[in-house]
Amino acid sequence: MNITVIGTGYVGLVTGTCFSDMGNKVYCVDIIEEKIEDLKKGIIPIYENDLEEMVVKNYKNGNLLFTTNLEEGIKNSNICFIAVGTPMAKDRSADLTAIYKIAKNLGEIIDHDMIVVTKSTVPVGTGDKIKEIIAEEFKKLNKPWQVHVVSNPEFLKEGTAVADSMRPDRVVIGSDDEKTIEILKELYYPFVKNHDRFIIMDIRSAEMSKYASNAMLATRISFMNEMAMICEKTGADVNKVRLGVGSDSRIGYSFLYAGCGYGGSCFPKDVQALIKVSENYNYTPKILKEVENINYEMKKILFEKIKKYFLETKGLKDLKGLKIAIWGLSFKPGTDDMRESTSVVLIKELISSGVYINSYDPKAVNEAKKILNDQLYKEKISYFNDKYEATEDCDGLVLVTEWNEFRSPDFKILENNLKNKVIFDGRNQYNNDLLKNLGFKYYQIGVLEDF
């Protein structure tokens, strides 16, 4: 099939590349010229496992094309995917400016029958609005073509985006047109093979399924973080509680890891957008607001623990002049994405308290520099290429992102490098007993504190 994908971010680039890998001809369109020129040269704007190799292969064999010219893609395609960003607006709703601009452009450009698929995460009712905008343009220009607007939300996770797209748990298709549904099933068939994985519904329910999925996952995390707080007070260990809870087949183990808060470009903005949509329809969501409130508190918890240790255990009067090593900057392992990362909240709080930071991340340093670009931060953060070097002469180590290479560090090196044998772990990676035997003070999330 011939396909246009609008937007070459995490979703658009991965989706377009995966479609091209199955033998489709895909036009990837973006408004950023530099990005498109880089992609043609095989320079990938994001870090994502296996992506570079697939992009280069399919660009070379002519299945994957990059352009800033939407018209070029549309004239040569029958299906068009919208995969542009829907970031959080100032009022915390989803900003749909790019979506509606594209709908208008499509109305102007389309010159044959077309399936327009929304892959971006958009609030309920957006598909109807896209239909209206395209129809308005068609009316002005007296166009006879048929356009079917479909909702096909994306569920990929950063870090495993290619693997998730190649083998999705499900493909949700929101459409009321039988022929359109059959065409999309054919397109997705190589990815799902099993027809049970197609879930067909109306557009509004498909749009809502995406928000409900993310809200459910975010709720599980905030719920476990609340359990973690209760564990800390009562002397239970949330790591063990997770096993006790997750072993119930009705509950399952995934997304039950307590930690220093969820980040990324999706959960924070999508939970907020769902709250906003609900309020627009005069419904006040209760759970969703608490999910966000708990997450806000969790992002501050490492700072609170660090402060407590140095003030109460070490007897300092403040944190001024300390140097802290931070392992992991991205919002999760496997990605260079820094959006809504807990590391940013922590670094800002530490620096405001007069602390110097030595940081190490295997992939996210460039993105971190873009976000922490105020003079104050530039002066107080050092970025290292080696995780152990980053700990030299530091007053303590904090683990924020659980990259694999942090899982089994050489504690002897840490012991030699750190001025205090203390580790604050935002992702509960180490064995409590082992670290205690080695003489470390080890602070996790959801385990009784030993100050």
Ligand X SMILES: NC(=O)c1ccc[n+]([C@@H]2O[C@H](COP(=O)([O-])OP(=O)(O)OC[C@H]3O[C@@H](n4cnc5c(N)ncnc54)[C@H](O)[C@@H]3O)[C@@H](O)[C@H]2O)c1
CA distance 318 to 349: 13
Consult the annotation and say whether 81 binds a ligand. no
Give the helix, strand, coil percentages of the chain, each rounded to 5: 45, 15, 40
Letter string b/e over residues 261-283, b meaning 16 or more CB atoms within 10 A of that residue's CB: bbbbbbbbbbbbbbbbbeeeeee
CB 424, min distance to ligand X, A: 28
98 binds, among ligand UPG, ligand X, none (CB under 5 to 8 A by kind): ligand X
CB 252, min distance to ligand UPG, A: 11
CB 88, min distance to ligand X, A: 10
DSSP letters spanning 62-117: TSEEEES-HHHHHHT-SEEEE-----B-TTSSB--HHHHHHHHHHHHH--S-EEEE
Tokens at residue 318, please? 């403040």
Nearer to ligand UPG, 222 or 359 (CB): 222
Cβ atoms within 10 Å of 417's Cβ, excluding its own:
16
Consult the annotation and say whether 155 binds a ligand. yes
446 binds, among ligand X, ligand UPG, none (CB under 5 to 8 A by kind): none
CA distance 236 to 446: 8
Binding site for ligand UPG (CB under 6 A): 121, 154-158, 214, 217, 221, 255-257, 259, 262-264, 266-267, 270, 331-332
381 binds, among ligand UPG, ligand X, none (CB under 5 to 8 A by kind): none
CB 219, min distance to ligand X, A: 18
Consult the annotation and say whether 217 binds a ligand. no
Nearer to ligand X, 29 or 130 (CB): 29
Q: Are 396 and 423 in contact (CB under 8 A)?
A: yes
Consult the annotation and say whether 258 binds a ligand. yes
Active-site option among 18, 28, 80, 266: 266
Q: Are 103 and 130 in contact (CB under 8 A)?
A: yes
CA distance 396 to 326: 9
H helical segments located in 247-364? 267-280, 287-298, 301-308, 342-352
Consult the annotation and say whether 176 binds a ligand. no
CA distance 168 to 186: 15
* Residue 394 annotated to the active site: no
Query: CA angle at residue 414 from 413 to 420, to 5 degrees?
Result: 135
Q: What residue number has its CB nearest to ligand UPG? A: 266
Consult the annotation and say whether 332 binds a ligand. yes
Nearer to ligand UPG, 228 or 390 (CB): 228
Q: What residue number has its CB nearest to ligand X? A: 9
CB 118, min distance to ligand X, A: 9
Consult the annotation and say whether 127 binds a ligand. no
255 binds, among ligand UPG, ligand X, none (CB under 5 to 8 A by kind): ligand UPG
Nearer to ligand X, 54 or 302 (CB): 54
Instruction: With CA atoms as reference, report the closest residue to 17 among 28, 29, 2.
Output: 28
Binding site for ligand X (CB under 6 A): 6-12, 29-32, 35, 83-86, 98, 101-102, 120-121, 154, 156, 158, 265-266
263 binds, among ligand X, ligand UPG, none (CB under 5 to 8 A by kind): ligand UPG
Bind-site residues for NAD(+): 30, 35, 86, 121, 158, 269, 339
Q: Give the active site residues.
A: 266
